[in-house]
Amino acid sequence: MYAPEILFIVALAMLLGWALAVAISRGRTLERLRDATGATETEDIERRVRDALEAASDARWQAEQAGQDTIHLTELLKAGVVRLRDDLTVEFANGAAYVILERRPGTMTGRSALEAFVDARIEGIARTAMEFGSANGELIVRSSGAPTVTVRARRSPVSGVWLVLEDVSELRRLQRIRAEFIDNLSHELRTPLTTISLLAETAAREAESASPRLRDRISKIEIETGHLTQMVNELLDLSRIESGTVQLLLDDVDLIRVARSNSERLKLFAERQGLKVVLDLPDRVPPVRGDEDRLGQVLINLLHNAVKFSPEGGEVVVGVREGEGEVLVWVRDPGIGVPATDRVRIFERFYKVDRARVRGRGGTGLGLSIARHVVESHGGRIWVESEEGEGSTFTFTIPLAPATTSPATTSPATTSPAAVGGATPEARPGA
């Protein structure tokens, strides 16, 4: 056989081999495409691939449009919105963020959080959110006279962190004006109320030989003056608690002792109402970290309400028990109960249950609000369980004291690390 013929046969074999390899490869590629697109043997694989490419193109277009729409939406907000990448560099900031932080537009994008904000506290809030999922804080962004800004951070489910900044300077100014007004008004009212109370007491002593009608009127003056004095004192107390000027004198507190001593204080009042105060106390519970006088004030408020709204002849039960990492204190009464529609609002200031149901026994509507603020300033919770006509159980919890505690310290009642510029994780639901 001639050499050219041999070369031709070899070339032909190689060509056939290459064609076979291409065919096999194409077959495998088609098989993979069928698997990826879900096409059957009889369907047009090319059409399926084309549809998939068109769908991917549409998805990219829609994602771009959604991104543009989100940017447009954030520009309509008065709150500052900043997005940080996982490495805490600024990916996006809306116009309000530049105004609140007093930066030139466009100067924050691409910079690290510390470079962009020039404030390690905001960077700390972002890092806390990256670790715990969310965080918040309130701070003054520059110096005295600069805006007061609240910063809320939440880790994105995709990547990075979202920051929302709000200028609350005007709100804080109005809150200060309100607190100052209440404080001044309370002080101005105390002097005439004290005078009226003393005059009514003197008139009551001098009117012992007077007519029953006159004595009854003098008695009503004393009662109403007492209500006004209580309202002024509670209003002033609540204003100070909400403003953070009330100091908590922290120490290890035995809530069993608090329950016993304060129940004894209201024992005489309960007996006058035809009620009996019963204690349901264990031998001991671990101490909690708190202000004993303030916790006693909470219990007095709950006991006073329980006695005031219970029918004659019943029992008011005060109980204490240890929970998981906390101590629970409850007051159970056989009273008129709290309607379901009122339970969610009963701890708001000035809120009162339907006056027709408690005619002649209503208070100022501040006692439970004060109790809530005191309990929450200790890191606890307070709630009510009730059935109309069958009574109510008010319960509050205080966290256990740490195993090793330092000497008694003084701490603002409503100030948290976030309020002074620190970062604190947001409370978990149900915590």
Residues 323, 348 within the same domain: yes
Confidence label for 206 from pLDDT (cuts 50, 70 and 90): confident
Chain-centre distance of CA 384, in angstroms? 18
> Does residue 399 have a pLDDT over 50?
yes
Confidence label for 70 from pLDDT (cuts 50, 70 and 90): low
Token reading at 201: 């007491």
Residues 117, 262 within the same domain: no
Confidence label for 422 from pLDDT (cuts 50, 70 and 90): very low
Q: 333 in a domain, yes or no?
A: yes
pLDDT of residue 335: 85
* Segment among 81-95, 259-273, 318-332, 347-361 with least mean pLDDT: 347-361
Residues 103, 178 within the same domain: no
What's the rounded mean pLDDT across residues 297-326? Answer: 90
Q: 25 in a domain, yes or no?
A: no
Residues 278, 378 within the same domain: yes
> Does residue 185 have a pLDDT over 70?
yes
As a whole number of angstroms, the distance between CA 201 and CA 222 comes to 7
What's the rounded mean pLDDT across residues 119-139? Answer: 86
Confidence label for 179 from pLDDT (cuts 50, 70 and 90): confident
Q: Where among 121, 143, 167 does a domain terminate?
A: 167
Residues 236, 314 within the same domain: no
**Greater pLDDT, 9 or 419:** 9
pLDDT of residue 397: 94
Q: Where among 243, 267, 295 does a domain terminate?
A: 243
Q: 373 in a domain, yes or no?
A: yes
Confidence label for 181 from pLDDT (cuts 50, 70 and 90): confident
Per-residue HEC secondary structure of 338-380 comes to CCHHHHCCCCCCCCCCCCCCCCCCCCCCCHHHHHHHHHHHCCC
What's the rounded mean pLDDT across residues 351-373? Answer: 66
Confidence label for 287 from pLDDT (cuts 50, 70 and 90): very high
CATH code (residue 217): 1.10.287.130
**Greater pLDDT, 300 or 24:** 300
Token reading at 190: 């105390």
pLDDT of residue 147: 81
Residues 123, 191 within the same domain: no
Burial of 229 (0-12, 13-18, 19+ CB in 10 A): middle
- pTM value is 0.55
Residues 206, 282 within the same domain: no
Residues 311, 354 within the same domain: yes
Q: 66 in a domain, yes or no?
A: no
Residues 232, 252 within the same domain: no
Residues 211, 357 within the same domain: no
Closest CA to 395 of 386, 408, 405, 404: 386
Mean pLDDT for the chain overall: 78
> Does residue 194 have a pLDDT over 70?
yes
Q: 104 in a domain, yes or no?
A: yes
Per-residue HEC secondary structure of the chain comes to CCHHHHHHHHHHHHHHHHHHHHHHHHHHHHHHHHHHHCCCCCCCHHHHHHHHHHHHHHHHHHHHHHHHHHHHHHHCCCCEEEEECCCCEEEEECHHHHHHCCCCCCCCCCCEHHHHHCCHHHHHHHHHHHHHCEEEEEEECCCCCCCEEEEEEEECCCCCEEEEEEECHHHHHHHHHHHHHHHHHHHHHHHHHHHHHHHHHHHHHHCCCCCHHHHHHHHHHHHHHHHHHHHHHHHHHHHHHHHCCCEEEEEEECHHHHHHHHHHHCHHHHHHCCCEEEEECCCCCCCEEECHHHHHHHHHHHHHHHHHCCCCCCEEEEEEEECCCEEEEEEEECCCCCCHHHHCCCCCCCCCCCCCCCCCCCCCCCHHHHHHHHHHHCCCEEEEEEECCCEEEEEEEEEECCCCCCCCEEEECCCCHHHHCCCECCCCCCC
Residues 300, 411 within the same domain: yes
For the chain, the distance separating the N- and C-terminal CA atoms, rounded to the nearest angstrom, is 94
pLDDT of residue 295: 93
pLDDT of residue 198: 86
List of residues 6+ apart from 322 with CB closer than 8 A:
282, 285, 286, 328
pLDDT of residue 65: 66
**Greater pLDDT, 14 or 428:** 14
Q: 372 in a domain, yes or no?
A: yes
What's the rounded mean pLDDT across residues 189-203? Answer: 85
* Segment among 5-9, 201-205, 324-328, 407-411 with least mean pLDDT: 407-411
pLDDT of residue 398: 94
CATH code (residue 274): 3.30.565.10
Total domains in the fold of the chain: 3
> Does residue 358 have a pLDDT over 80?
no
**Greater pLDDT, 31 or 277:** 277
Q: 424 in a domain, yes or no?
A: no
pLDDT of residue 303: 92
Closest CA to 22 of 30, 10, 34, 33: 30
pLDDT of residue 408: 41
> Does residue 136 have a pLDDT over 90?
no
Q: Where among 243, 262, 296 does a domain terminate?
A: 243
Q: 18 in a domain, yes or no?
A: no
> Does residue 328 have a pLDDT over 90?
yes
pLDDT of residue 320: 94
Residues 365, 319 within the same domain: yes
CATH code (residue 134): 3.30.450.20
**Which domain covers residue 143, as residue numbers?**
77-167
> Does residue 411 have a pLDDT over 70?
no
Token reading at 116: 């962009």
Confidence label for 204 from pLDDT (cuts 50, 70 and 90): confident
